[in-house]
Every structure is written in structure tokens, then in C-alpha cells.
Amino acid sequence: MAASLHPQCMGSAHGRVTSWETGAAPIPAALPYFVAFSQLLGLTVVAVTGAWLGLYRGGVAWESALQFNVHPLCMVIGLVFLQGDALLVYRVFRNEAKRTTKVLHGLLHVFALVIALVGLVAVFDYHKKKGYADLYSLHSWCGILVFVLYFVQWIVGFSFFLFPGASFSLRSRYRPQHVFFGATIFVLSVGTALLGLKEALLFKLGADYSKFEPEGVLANTLGLLLVCFGVVVLYILTPPEWKRPSQAEEQALSMDFKTLTEGDSPSSQ
């Protein structure tokens, strides 16, 4: 056991890459690869969304008939890609100061919220100009639910974890609920995006959707990419050993390393 924790050792029996020289918490060997894969998927989702809107929907603009296209692009960037990245902050930044990580987590959620709000304004303004009805479809109902839940989650999270008045015990009791609702809202966001994608295809293609039209094939590919991104993000959040160690755990690791290097460990006697 003592040998596996030696400063010269680059790994352990659990397949972790360690950084004992700096006293940092060990980084699970597979975690960086999964995070990199998630970012590749996320950027691909955004790129394919842009390609779909550019090739088959005329592009994106605010003061024109293309205003509607602002909606899917903003929702994918905000409530899918950026929200997913915000959830991964505590897996990626394992050894940085806790408050710095909290601020980054909160800021990513703010950016996602603002971009999603722009997408909502775009679709409501477009409907108003065209005289279309609002909030009649399942996609729109789910979309409003997701946005409201996301906004409430951010406000409550800020109050508990960034506002200095919250007590440690209160934060500890609320943390499991915060984590649960964060993952749930992310899943709902991906599902709502899939509903919107299917709705847009049916409105335009109608019966031709079943004829494997090029737009339908590209949009279906986009749907699969959305699912894959959601699954990979949730998988990264699942393994307990991939979670950011608590301050107590980090301190214990540091003390163990100090004891071992000084030769005071009982196992070395």
C-alpha cells in the first residue's frame, strides 16, 4: 500500500494518474478522455445545428423571417451544451479553489440562461409577428417548464452556495437535491430539444419525412448526437470516484503524502 502511494509512482491499482508532487488530488485515468469526448460531441452538436439551419432553413437572422431559427440555435447552445459543461465543472477542476470552481459553475449557468432567454424571446416575437398561436404544443409546454425550473434552480443554488449568508449545514442538506435537479433539468432539456427537432421536421416535411429526405437524415443525426452528448455527460457525473474530493479528503491526501515522505507512516516501520 505504501509503495503504491510513493511520490515516484505515476499510477495506482485503481488506474489513477496521481500528482503527489504538488499535493493535488489524484485524477482518474479515464476521466480526461471522457471529458474530451463530451466536448467533441457538444461542439459537434452545435456545429450540426448550425449546418441544419444554414443548409435547410435559410440561416439565422433577427429582423427577418429567419428569426425563428435563433430559437433552436440558442436553446442548443444554452440549455444543452453550456448547461452540460456547467455540470462537468466539478469533475474537470478537481484541485482548484472551491470558491473559484463555484463561481465558474455559476457563470456558465448564467451564460446558458441568458442565451436561452434570447431564444425564447426570438420564438415568441416571431409568433407575434406571424400571428401564430403560442404554447399549444408539447414541445412548448416542456420548454417553458425546463426554463422555469432552470431559472429557479439557479436562484436557489446561488442563494445556498454563493451567497455568504447560507450556513454550512443548510448547504449540506440541500446539496443532494441541487445535484438531482441539475441532472434532471439537463435530461429534460435534451428531451425537449428532441421534441422541438421532430416538430420542426414534421411541420416542414410532412409526409415526405418518411422518404428519407436529406434534411430529415441530417436532423435525425443531430438528434442522435444530442442523445449521445446527454448520455456521456450523465455518465461522467455518475462514478463516485470521479467526483471532486471534498476539502477534508484533499487535506487527508496531503497529510498522507507528507507522512509517507517523512518516513513516519506505521506501514513503513
Whole-model pTM: value is 0.83
Whole-number average pLDDT of the chain: 86
* Residue 123 reports pLDDT greater than 50: yes
* Residue 256 reports pLDDT greater than 50: no
With a pLDDT cut of 90, the percent of the chain lying above it is: 71
**16-20, 24-28, 143-147 — most confident range:** 143-147
Contact criterion met (CB below 8 Å) for 92 and 84: no
Of the candidates 47, 112, 39, 48, the one whose C-alpha atom is nearest the C-alpha of residue 75 is 112
Distance CA 39, CA 158 (A): 26
Q: So what's the pLDDT on residue 252? A: 42
Q: State mean pLDDT over 34-47.
A: 98
88 or 169: which carries more pLDDT confidence? 88
* Residue 255 reports pLDDT greater than 80: no
* Residue 268 reports pLDDT greater than 50: no
CA atoms within 13 A on the CB side of 21: 5
* Residue 106 reports pLDDT greater than 50: yes
Cell (9 digits) for 10 = 505515476
Distance CA 237, CA 27 (A): 14
172: confidence class by pLDDT, cuts 50, 70, 90: confident
* Residue 139 reports pLDDT greater than 60: yes
* Residue 3 reports pLDDT greater than 90: no
247: confidence class by pLDDT, cuts 50, 70, 90: low
Contact criterion met (CB below 8 Å) for 253 and 19: no
Q: So what's the pLDDT on residue 9? A: 41
Q: So what's the pLDDT on residue 262? A: 52
- Name, in order, each residue with C-beta under 8 angstroms of 37's C-beta and a sequence gap of 6 or more: 232
Q: So what's the pLDDT on residue 185? A: 98
Q: So what's the pLDDT on residue 249? A: 43
Q: State mean pLDDT over 64-71.
A: 95
Contact criterion met (CB below 8 Å) for 149 and 181: yes
Torsion of CA 66, 72, 78, 82, to 10 degrees: -120
**94-108, 166-180, 195-209 — most confident range:** 195-209
* Residue 21 reports pLDDT greater than 80: no
Q: So what's the pLDDT on residue 217? A: 97
Q: State mean pLDDT over 37-63.
A: 97
Q: State mean pLDDT over 181-207.
A: 97
Q: Which fold has domain 36-238?
A: Four Helix Bundle (Hemerythrin (Met), subunit A) (1.20.120)
Q: So what's the pLDDT on residue 122? A: 97
User: How many Å separate Cα 116 from the centre of its chain?
Assistant: 14
